[in-house]
Amino acid sequence: MKILKLPKEQLDFFASVLQQFGEVHAPVRTRAGYSFRALERWSEACLDYDRTVLPPKKYFLPPRETMLTYRRPDGYVAGSEGLNQKLVLFGVHACDIFALNLLDKVFAEGVFPDPYYRTRRRNVAVIGIDCEPDEHCFCPSMRADFVERGFDLFFYDIGDHYLVMVGTALGDDMVLATGPLFTPVADADIVEYKRRSALKKTKYQLEVDLRDLPEIFELEYGSEIWEELGRTCLACGNCSTSCPTCYCYDVQDQVELGSTEGPRVRTADTCLYSQHAAVAGGENFRHSQASRIKFYYYHKQRGFVMEHGRPGCVGCGRCIVHCPVGIHVVDVINRLRGVRDAVASH
């Protein structure tokens, strides 16, 4: 991989150059928390943020998206707004990039690739940035604290410079477009990178053990924990809406009164809502909140492993931060495992 460095004071110049590659979006501080937004000026960007409320999946699986429109006599015409808009996401954390790589497994690969997702993925550049873990992060446990791919550029803070990994040809074009701003890394930069990386590793406060976790889930299918969680959970869906790897959606046809024409719209959905598995005849395959929250955990920690070889969780901590009743994923996993005091600080 091509690795270069950029003096920190040149970052705003680099950002201005980025505009030729698409509309630049970056985390911005809002009243509700950090949010990826289009920047009006570079100074709005907040690169030392902890986590955005919504993960960058909103750019690839918009919470609401028209898929097709039915019109006579053409039938169902495919199309969606903003599909071909070029964007540059600046400042995406490793865990969130890792989550996009997981979404690729579902939406970009396999037998039926999703053309909407793929097109957006092609049109949105991703520039990653290193982060400072807080008390809700456990990405190393989920092996998602580093990404080898899924970014065009990745920035690591090494003091007065950023060390920059160039992941794609597009990333290389971005580097080249700035002229000689980026320079080769020196031995001292590598030493500093490694020192910071080792230091970061010591800062995580949460841990789960992935080894045989799917088996533990099988063994604990009947655990009392699920009933207890079912009694506590409000089915608000926050944990899933904010999760960078949750992808369930619902589909509705929207028609004007007295007409059969109109758009087919998909909207983000979650398995924590009571109707998610309801079918004809009033039957519901997950009739209790306990069965639904159990499924939510099973799909991530058991089903996704079966299907894709690793958990569908990157340890970003959003579900922990946003749960109004304090349901804590690390706590749930560790209790299932029988490790009670593993959560040091909450």
Partner 1 sequence: MLSPAIDVATGPGWLENPYQPHLARIVRIYRMVPDNWVFTLRFLDEEIGRNFRQQPGTFVMLSIPGAGEAPISISSSPTRPGTLELCVRRVGRVTDALYRLQSNDLVGVRGPYGNGFPVEVMHGNDLLLVAGGLGMAPLRSLLWYALDRREHFGQVTLMYGAKNPASMLFREELVSLVDRTDINCLLTVDSDPGGTWKNHVGLLPKLFDRARIDPRTTYAAVCGPPIVYKFVLERLLPLGFSKDRILMSLERRMKCGVGKCGHCSIGYKYTCLHGPIFTYWDAINLPEMV
Ligand X SMILES: Cc1cc2nc3c(=O)[nH]c(=O)nc-3n(C[C@H](O)[C@H](O)[C@H](O)COP(=O)(O)OP(=O)(O)OC[C@H]3O[C@@H](n4cnc5c(N)ncnc54)[C@H](O)[C@@H]3O)c2cc1C
CA nearest 315: which of 246, 243, 241, 247? 243
> By the 8 A CB rule, do 41 and 24 touch?
no
Residue (84 or 260) nearer to ligand X, CB: 260
Residues 324 and 241: beta-carbon distance below 8 Å: no
Query: Among residues 89, 90, 104, which one has the least CA distance to residue 59?
Result: 89
342 touches, from partner 1, ligand X, ligand SF4, none (C-beta below 5 to 8 Å by class)? none
Handedness of CA 53, 59, 65, 67 (dihedral sign): negative
Q: How many CB atoms neighbour CB 322 within 10 A?
A: 17
Which residue type sits at 85?
Q
Asked whether position 184 contacts partner 1 by CB under 8 A, the answer is no
Q: Give the shortest CB-256-to-partner 1 separation in angstroms.
A: 9
Q: Which stretch binds partner 1 (CB under 8 A): 21-29, 115-123, 177-185, 335-343?
A: 115-123
Q: Which of 3, 134, 303, 328 binds partner 1 (CB under 8 A)?
A: 303
Contact status: 119 vs partner 1 (CB under 8 A): yes
Q: Is 68 an interacting residue with respect to partner 1 (CB under 8 A)?
A: yes
Question: Do the beta carbons of residue 286 and residue 277 sit within 8 Å?
Answer: yes
Between residue 282 and residue 301, which ones bind ligand X under the rule CB under 6 A?
A: 282
Q: In 132-157, which positions are buried (b, 16+ CB within 10 angstroms) versus exposed (e)?
A: ebebbbbbbbbebbebeebbbbbbbb
Closer Cβ to partner 1, 32 or 257, answer by number: 257
The reply on whether position 198 binds ligand X by CB under 6 A is no
Shortest distance, position 226 Cβ to partner 1, whole Å: 11
Token representation of residue 13: 């110049």
Instruction: For residue 154, list its beta bridge partners.
Output: 128, 165
Query: Does 124 sit near partner 1 (CB under 8 A)?
Result: yes
CB 296 within 8 A of CB 239: yes
Name the binder of 282 from partner 1, ligand X, ligand SF4, none, CB < 5-8 A by kind.
ligand X
Q: How far is the CB of 296 from ligand X (least distance, A)?
A: 18
Answer with the entry of partner 1, ligand X, ligand SF4, none that 76 interacts with (C-beta below 5 to 8 A by kind). Answer: partner 1
Q: How far apart are CA 38 and CA 155, in angstroms?
A: 20
Examine residue 278 and tell whether it contacts ligand X (CB under 6 A).
yes
Q: For binding to ligand X (CB under 6 A), which residues are involved?
A: 275, 278, 280-282
Q: For binding to partner 1 (CB under 8 A), which residues are involved?
A: 67-68, 70, 75-76, 78, 83-84, 100-101, 104, 106-115, 118-119, 121-122, 124-126, 149-152, 167-168, 170, 221, 247-253, 255, 259-262, 264, 266, 269, 271, 276-281, 285-286, 291, 295, 298-299, 302-304, 306-307
